[in-house]
Amino acid sequence: MSTMKYVLIAVTLLALGTAAQAQHDLQFNINYNVNIPSGSFRDFIDKPAYKGFTAGFAYPINDQLRVGLSAGYNDYYQKFPRQVYSEGSGSDISAVVSNSVQQIPILLTADYTLTKKGFVRPYVGVGAGVNFISLDQYLGEFDDPHTNGKLAVRGEAGILIPLSSWKATALRIGGSYNYAPYNSYGINNLSNWGIHAGISVPIH
């Protein structure tokens, strides 16, 4: 985990340093996200995460294609009613269980606008990188935390609504599927569906 962090920090600094040399072309994107657990993730938490955002930089290759780097944060939490749980040694415990998951995906991204003109411009995008995960289960006052890094892959689609005819400022509205493999607590993934809304602004 620590080695992966150092590698990721180095790659991030290199990417940002390269991007800084071309700031006149850069775009800054920031979105508010709502993410909904899917698959076996729903067995651990089935409530949406309303505390989420994504921010990043994108470099325009041409009028339609952009590549960049993004980082996000999603905070899931669910508290279950008091139940009786078996400890497996012939004794039972009555406790309130709370499950908590935080995900920080850091991705290399690419997105493509399907049309150059129009008030509404559809786009599609992909991303791949590392998902830093903090997962914790509280059984009464006792907890069992897990922290690690896993693969992250994102596919998304949405629309851009330009706010200016002479600057590349636009509203972004869309949805995504975030593939996040995992293996703990009987969970084989922390994948989720997301919806987002935000803004893209040029940096000069």
Average pLDDT over the chain, rounded to an integer: 83
pLDDT cut 90: percent of the chain above it: 54
Contact 183, 159 (CB under 8 A): no
Contact 186, 39 (CB under 8 A): no
- Residue 181 CA to chain centroid, in angstroms? 13
Q: What is the pLDDT of residues 17-68, one digit of tens each?
A: 554 444 447 899 999 999 999 988 998 999 999 999 999 999 998 888 999 9
Q: What is the pLDDT of residues 100-146, one digit of tens each?
A: 999 999 999 999 999 988 889 999 999 999 999 999 887 766 667 77
Burial of 201 from C-beta contacts in 10 A (0-12 / 13-18 / 19+):
middle
Residue 168: pLDDT band (50, 70, 90) is confident
Contact 196, 54 (CB under 8 A): yes
Tell me the two tokens of residue 54.
């994504």
Tell me the two tokens of residue 109.
């991204």
Query: What's the CATH number where 103 sits?
Result: 2.40.160.20
Residue 197: pLDDT band (50, 70, 90) is very high
CB atoms within 10 A of CB 138: 16
Contacts of 28 (CB under 8 A, 6+ apart): 55, 56, 57, 200, 201, 202, 203
Residue 184: pLDDT band (50, 70, 90) is confident
SS3 196: strand
The answer, as to whether pTM is greater than 0.85, is no
- Separation of alpha carbons 61 and 7, rounded Å: 26
- Separation of alpha carbons 175 and 156, rounded Å: 6
Residue 72: pLDDT band (50, 70, 90) is very high
Please tell me the total count of domains within the chain: 1
- Separation of alpha carbons 179 and 185, rounded Å: 18
pLDDT of 181 over the 70 cut? yes
Contacts of 67 (CB under 8 A, 6+ apart): 58, 59, 61, 108, 109, 110
Tell me the two tokens of residue 199.
């803004």
> What is the residue range of 92's domain?
2-202
Contacts of 11 (CB under 8 A, 6+ apart): none
Tell me the two tokens of residue 1.
């985990």
